[in-house]
Structure 1
Amino acid sequence: MIKREVWYFRGVGPQNTPACLDLMEKAVAEGFRHLVVASTTGDSGAQAARRFAGKDVSLVVVGHSVGFKGPNMDEFLEEHSQEITRLKGKVLKATILTHSLETSLADQFKGSAPTLLIANTLRRLGQGLKVGCEIVMEAVDAGLIPEGEEVVAVGGTARGWDAVAIIKSAASKRFMQLSVLEIWGKPRV
């Protein structure tokens, strides 16, 4: 049996980022080596890169794809990308798996799509945990973390982090093999 303390945050948002970094530190101390974090502008990702610089971990910082917010818009700041890379982290700008061609068609034709159902189902646990599932698959799809590993996934709601989970990684092609093994922190909202 594994006993864990779960941290429930009073709300969503960046005020929870320091606590999420502490939970990541705890996970690394327990032997977890793959860290996958969401970061829209790169700020939170750079904080993680600084915290884990020189440690025996693989850090993947996942941002939105270029064009997600608008045509040709890159939300990930270049200075953060450079700092993360300099500190041996990896930066991935990827299409959000639940915001793909299907969502474009659903918007255009006023319908729904399986990926939207999946996204909204995952949101029942919180936006940050939904994001955690997505970014782990995106990192596997890009070949930046191995499939079938226990990964520390960190996501949030809008800005900053408010969710930490241990997820068994899977490629998006094998979504049904992805497993949320443990939830270490999330908003209680």
Structure 2
Amino acid sequence: MTGFKQLQLFSDINTTICFKNSKDSELAAKNILEILPKANIVTLPIEFRDINHLLVEKGQEAVKSFLTKEDKVDKERELKGLKKDNTFEVVNCRYFPNPGPDNTEATLEAALERANILKIKKILVSSCTGKTAFKAVDLFGHTFSLIIVTHVTGFKKPDHQELAEKDRKLLLEMGAVVLTAQHAFGGVGRAFRNKTGTYQIDEVIAYTLRTFGQGTKVAIEMALMATDAGLIRTDEDVISIGGTAAGVDTALLLKPAHTQNFFDIKVKEIICKPLDF
């Protein structure tokens, strides 16, 4: 059972995982805890090759005592990067060297991993043509409520919708929700800019958010749109996944807000994003 996606199936199970004492065991244990947060981690004493070796040398009671030793909870907390006084938490964040669609699979997997740990059920995914949407549906399955957010109709040219109607219907049949709505940062203000060359506050906000990358701007904008559409609530955290031009490369844990209450939105975690953009 070594595949990442396979381990996700057991994220809610209490289990004990035994590692050999090696230079890589601590990192491996830390990675396992990100996927299986309820796991207890124990490390074999260095003189034993494996659990069977311990059984042969010391007997059944020694194995039982080892697997149920009292300090394993403290070890788990240490490997998770948590101080005993809970003054801070260390959380993994993936940084991609460059933006773009090459990061799509890694972004979706990082979002799934964090969603399982935090028990987040609603996931927003940006998708213009549906390519990323279908990848998300395949990965997240029916355990999560997936909301696919498309470009507004007319984004590229009048009356044109980039997501084909047949793909929209297929996504709906697969259990996803598809949202096509006015972009929160690109409405009447953009019309004013196109006509007069003067930027309005919505696009000033958009350009400010792009200092973190295009995907960050998209992820926050989608959360506003989905909240206004009544698809997510302001009192339930969501994970919002955006991208740069195509695919996805950014995932954020958010507390949503309505567009009219924009300053109430809270970015709680950056799960992944590009370094260079």
Instruction: Compute the TM-score of the two structures, normalised by the length of structure 1.
Output: 0.96
**8 Å Cα contact 2:114/2:271 also seen in 1:** no
Q: Distance in 2 between matches of 1:83 and 1:2?
A: 40
Kept after mapping to 2: 8 A contact 1:129/1:165: yes
Unaligned runs of 5+ in 2: 1-87
RMSD: 1.1
Pick one of 180, 183, 189 that aligns with 2:270: 183
- Distance in 2 (alpha carbons) for counterparts of 1:102 and 1:179: 24
Output the TM-score relative to the length of structure 2: 0.66
Match of 1:47 in 2: 135
Q: Return the match for 1:173 from 260, 264, 272.
A: 260
Post-superposition, which runs of at least 4 consecutive aligned residues in structure 1 deviate over 3 A? none
Name the amino acid aligned to 2:134.
Answer: A
Q: Indicate the residue corresponding to 2:3 in structure 1.
A: none
Residue in structure 2 matched with residue 135 of structure 1 by the alignment: 222
Amino acid at match of 1:32: I
Name the residue aligned to 1:76. Answer: 163
- Describe the superposition over 1:145-172 as per-residue Cα deviations: whole angstroms up to 9, x where unpaired: 1123211010000000010110111111
**Alignment pair present for 1:104 and 2:191:** yes
Q: Does 1:38 align with 2:38?
A: no
Answer yes or no: is the 8 Å Cα contact 1:46–1:83 preserved in 2. Answer: no
Equivalent pairs counted in the alignment come to: 188
> Does the Cα contact within 8 Å between 2:255 and 2:268 map onto a contact in 1?
yes
Selected match of 2:110 from 10, 18, 23 = 23
SS of the residue aligned with 1:117?
helix
1:13-71 deviation digits (Å, cap 9, x = unpaired): 1110000111122023111111011111111011111222221x211000011111111
Indicate if the aligned counterparts of 1:150 and 1:167 stay in contact, CA closer than 8 A: yes
In 2: Cα distance, 1:20 partner to 1:71 partner: 32
Indicate the percent of aligned positions where both proteins have the same amino acid: 32
Q: Which has the higher contact order (CA 8 A, sep 6+)?
A: 1
Bigger radius of gyration among the two: 2
Q: Which amino acid aligns with 2:160?
A: M
The alpha carbon displacement at 1:77 in A equals 2.1
Q: Structure 2 matches for 1:156-171, cutoff 5 A?
A: 156-171=243-258
Q: Distance in 2 between matches of 1:82 and 1:53?
A: 17
Cα contact 2:111–2:271 (8 A) shared by 1: no
